Structure 1
Amino acid sequence: MATKNQHYVPRVYIKSWETTVYSKKEPQKAFTGVYYYDKADLSLGDGRNKESILSSNHTYTVDFRYDFILQSCREIRIEFAEKIKTILSQRRAKAYYKGNLLTNRNAIFRYLPYLENWDFYHLDGTTASKKSIINEIRGIRSYCLEDRFSSYVEAQWGDILKRFLLSFPDVDGTGQIELHLQKTQTIVDMLNMLALMMCRNPSFDLLGIFSWLKNDILAPAFSSCGDATMADIFMRGCWLTEIYRGLYSENGFVDTFLSTALSNLGIVVYRVANKNEGTFITSDNPVVYHKLLVEATNHNGIYFPLTPRYLIFLGKRSNAGIDDVLFRTVHNRDLRNINRILLNGAESGIVSQERRLGYIL
């Protein structure tokens, strides 16, 4: 099986945290990278290349086990059908199901659930090897989601970030000011990126719905049938479907989040006063949904560090619109409070510009 290493936190996003670093293995050798920490051990950062962290094999790959999502994911369905046609063409074979010749995408997809009952014949009418053809079909992989991420998020993040930050003063300041921004595509693009960053992460839980569905409904049901692994397969299929909907602008979490944010939420942009005050961290779960029943200083909301100096916060607003943005300069005390929230939201890995986190946590 081919391996395709896929980053669930984009390298183009992590690039903002690059600085001169030193690894634990070669502490005298400087190179350009980031400091990476295991959440369980924050004593000393390990200098790492951004290519080597926050990735896994086949993060977004869709293989034949997930054929049940094809009905909801048109582009992946087309890719599967075209790859089946290619397999048949290369083998100079035709596929039949109950006497029906499967010649086009619709026919292939319609009868794909009955693949084991297909019959195969060479163009000269002789019987083709059913087992080997079916095995090759079952080995199909779709990289549609990864390719879509590359062409949208990875390709456009830098430009969207730059356009968004150009809306704010770039000189050192103190305190807080309110800026009225046009409800331009820049705000929409940034909120869409934020939602996709949430959705693309393997820890994405659809605000608790996924874990409830798996633990309370699917796991007991599949365990009683003797196949507990199907619960994990089904839940990953649900996650991949949400990613697809977000990337292809179909109804789903990303679309709902965007409309909700534009109508109900307010934006605060935090900027660290200067380098001496510290820097924001980020993590393997960069968008943190922080909610406590009792919060004395009203820190409930969504936190997303944009760079080591800038962070966007989304929270419930009263009267102001999404285009009335608060721009707040923070110093070390507030930065430490925010970084603790980001740390709590991390799964297992932290990224920072700092080799030691003491003064920013």
Structure 2
Amino acid sequence: MSYSAAERMLSFAFMMICRNPCFDLKGLLPNIKNNVLIPALVDGTDNYDLPENIKKVIKSEFRNNIDQLIRCLWISNLYRIFFKKSKGFYSALLRFAKGLYGNKGFQMILYKRDDNTTYFITSDNPAVEYHNAVTLQNYNGIYFPLSPDYLLLICSGDAGIDHVAYRSANDEIVRKFNYIICSKRNKDILARQKKIDEILP
């Protein structure tokens, strides 16, 4: 694969990571919201001697304002994707993937499911990171289902982003990947099969 084609493929996967305030791979925006803003503003209201009905109104206003702030942070990152090529979470991730920080860089593996196996699923979190230090097989990386038949795994490697390995996935591997994707969902999964035992280990 040409370097420019590989770069576009990575770029699309990383855009999908940033497509929604909940889906920024590392959970930066949800962490800011849930671990900083809500404890400081919403929960902090309980420290004041106010009538409960007043506290309820104040908390509701704070939550609305926090949601608006997170949305603004998200939109600013989307703006940087399309107009500020050298700034923002997306640009930093893309440079890291190319090894421009002196790091190892990423490589890509394209999996195609074998015939007569279950299908790949996707979810409302379309590109997910999985890391498990204790595993017999190295499945660590970013999982991006392309279709029920294909899945792109973006992982650390020396081969470079333009060297795309092609591998077949038997039923065991497909179900393993489906389990990872399912475990990282926000709420919903999308699958060709209707029964959960047909897609997971």
* Alignment-derived partner of residue 342 in structure 1: 181
* Alignment-derived partner of residue 234 in structure 1: 69
TM-score (norm 2): 0.80
The unaligned stretches of length 5 or more in structure 1 are 1-180
Q: 1:321 aligns with which of 137, 143, 160?
A: 160
Secondary structure at the aligned position of 1:353 is classed as: coil
Offset of residue 242 of structure 1: 1.1
* Alignment-derived partner of residue 78 in structure 2: 243
1:284–1:346 contact (8 Å) kept in structure 2 = yes
1:284–1:350 contact (8 Å) kept in structure 2 = yes
* Alignment-derived partner of residue 294 in structure 1: 134
RMSD: 1.9
Evaluate the alpha carbon distance shift between residue 331 and residue 252 of structure 1 in structure 2; reply closer, same or farther with a 3 A threshold.
same
Evaluate the alpha carbon distance shift between residue 241 and residue 329 of structure 1 in structure 2; reply closer, same or farther with a 3 A threshold.
same
Matching of residue 222 in structure 1 with residue 50 in structure 2: no
1:1-361 matches, cutoff 5 A: 181-183=1-3, 185-205=4-24, 207-223=26-42, 224=44, 226=58, 227-229=61-63, 230-250=65-85, 251-263=87-99, 264-274=105-115, 276-317=116-157, 319-361=158-200
Structure richer in strand, relative to its length = 1
TM-score (norm 1): 0.46
CA deviations over 1:21-65 (Å, ceiling 9, x no partner):
xxxxxxxxxxxxxxxxxxxxxxxxxxxxxxxxxxxxxxxxxxxxx
The one-letter amino acid of 1:256's match is A
1:332–1:360 contact (8 Å) kept in structure 2 = no
Evaluate the alpha carbon distance shift between residue 235 and residue 301 of structure 1 in structure 2; reply closer, same or farther with a 3 A threshold.
same
Larger Rg computed on CA atoms: 1
The one-letter amino acid of 2:62's match is A
Evaluate the alpha carbon distance shift between residue 299 and residue 260 of structure 1 in structure 2; reply closer, same or farther with a 3 A threshold.
same
Runs of 4+ more than 6 Å apart: none
Offset of residue 360 of structure 1: 2.7
CA distance in 2, matches of 1:302, 1:260: 13
2:22–2:30 contact (8 Å) kept in structure 1 = no
1:206–1:253 contact (8 Å) kept in structure 2 = no
The unaligned stretches of length 5 or more in structure 2 are 46-57, 100-104
1:266–1:325 contact (8 Å) kept in structure 2 = yes
The one-letter amino acid of 1:349's match is D
What percentage of residue pairs aligned between the two structures are identical?
Answer: 33
| Equivalent residue pairs, number | 178
CA deviations over 1:217-261 (Å, ceiling 9, x no partner):
322333347452222221221112112211334311111111111
